[in-house]
């Protein structure tokens, strides 16, 4: 594998950081550093970065890091942070185009402002469009891929391809290649087909959804949303609560007292290892007491170890 230290770049326009804390790029505000952290200026700049770091393998991707735990030992190789508040949003040919770095709530409001309906659920998902595509994020009956007309994908070669939903096997919080090939690229943009309807009602519904979230989720404390997928016909939160685990703590991590499927980092002092150990403990207790094996929804990346410099 290519060594990181002698690596220099040509013509990049984004921000490059070496051994930078990734805690600041995840909503849990925990975890280690990335060897080479890159915030691309735009999709062409990302393509140039991918081409120039080919020897390191594909970068680890973070959008808003709202579904990701970075272990304390950090991430080797390259990490690309794709959140881009200035990313493009547009309407053309009855489709809503959004670049991957745009925040999902911004897409929800943009769609409503353009007379589209059913994108409201995205307002409650504090990630990027790219993260919503990778996770098939959803809530309140809505799911990202139900509305995807096509996606643009950046391949390891640095080339862009456009794909359709038929190229993917999409399920509950899961997106894989339809032909069984390993996931091979970075979502850089998508075209969504939302029905036309009452945009004013859609904006009202966004406000209602957000009010419901504020009332039911521990949004004031660092967290990563639902830690576990809901098992068929049941709710992970109900099972965890039934085991008396609300408020249970491990190191600096705690099962939320407000929503049992959330783990919070109340003092911003949790190590990723605390969070990961608490996830494992909750899983074990729920399996022992109820017989249900909960599957994590959050993605865990990086290596075990101590948080590096830069925190």
Known catalytic residues are: 173, 226, 297
State how far the Cα of 134 lies from the Cα of 113, in Å rounded to an integer: 25
Considering the complex, state which of residue 159 and residue 196 has its C-beta at the smaller distance from ligand FAD.
159
116 strand-pairing partners? 196
Contacts with ligand FAD in 135-174 (CB under 6 A)?
135, 137-139
* Contact of 298 with 253, CB cutoff 8 Å: no
Alpha helices per DSSP H over the chain: 43-52, 104-113, 129-135, 199-216, 236-242, 272-290
Place of tokens 């508040």: 85
Considering the complex, state which of residue 27 and residue 286 has its C-beta at the smaller distance from ligand FAD.
27
C-alpha radius of gyration, the chain, whole number:
20
Handedness of CA 246, 248, 250, 251 (dihedral sign): positive
173 strand-pairing partners? none
Q: How far is the CB of 171 from ligand FAD (least distance, A)?
A: 12
Contacts with ligand FAD in 97-116 (CB under 6 A)?
100
Binding flag, residue 64, ligand FAD (CB under 6 A): yes
Binding flag, residue 40, ligand FAD (CB under 6 A): no
Binding flag, residue 255, ligand FAD (CB under 6 A): no
Considering the complex, state which of residue 34 and residue 126 has its C-beta at the smaller distance from ligand FAD.
126
69 strand-pairing partners? 300
Stretch that binds ligand FAD, among 2-10, 37-45, 60-68, 86-94 (CB under 6 A): 60-68
- For ligand FAD, the binding residues (CB under 6 A) are 27, 61-68, 82, 100, 124-128, 130-132, 134-135, 137-139, 186-187, 217, 219, 223-225, 299
């Amino acid at each position: 594998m290519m060594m990181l230290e002698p690596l220099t770049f040509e013509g990049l326009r984004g921000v490059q950081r070496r051994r930078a804390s990734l805690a600041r790029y995840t909503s849990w505000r925990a975890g280690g550093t990335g060897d080479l952290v890159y915030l691309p200026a735009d999709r062409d700049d990302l393509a140039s970065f991918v081409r120039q770091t080919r020897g390191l393998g594909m970068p680890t991707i973070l959008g808003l890091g709202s579904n990701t735990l970075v272990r304390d030992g950090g991430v080797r190789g390259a990490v690309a942070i794709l959140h881009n508040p200035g990313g493009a949003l547009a309407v053309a040919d009855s489709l809503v185009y959004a670049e991957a770095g745009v925040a999902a709530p911004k897409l929800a409001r943009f769609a409503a402002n353009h007379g589209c309906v059913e994108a409201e659920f995205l307002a409650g998902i504090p990630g990027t469009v790219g993260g919503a595509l990778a996770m098939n994020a959803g809530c309140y009956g809505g799911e990202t891929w139900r509305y995807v007309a096509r996606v643009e994908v950046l391949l390891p070669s640095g080339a862009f391809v456009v794909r359709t939903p038929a190229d993917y096997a999409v399920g509950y919080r899961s997106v894989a290649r339809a032909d069984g090939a390993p996931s091979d690229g970075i979502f850089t943009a998508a075209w969504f087909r939302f029905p036309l309807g009452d945009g004013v009602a859609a904006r009202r519904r966004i406000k209602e959804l957000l009010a419901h979230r504020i009332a039911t989720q521990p949004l004031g404390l660092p967290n990563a949303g639902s830690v576990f997928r809901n098992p068929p016909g049941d709710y992970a939160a109900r099972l965890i609560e039934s085991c008396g685990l609300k408020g249970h703590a491990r190191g600096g991590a705690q099962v939320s007292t407000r929503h049992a499927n959330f783990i919070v980092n109340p003092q911003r002092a949790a190590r990723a290892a605390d969070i990961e150990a608490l996830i494992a403990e909750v899983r074990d207790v729920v399996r022992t007491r109820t017989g249900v094996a909960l599957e994590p929804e959050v993605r865990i990346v990086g290596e075990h170890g101590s948080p590096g410099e830069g925190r």
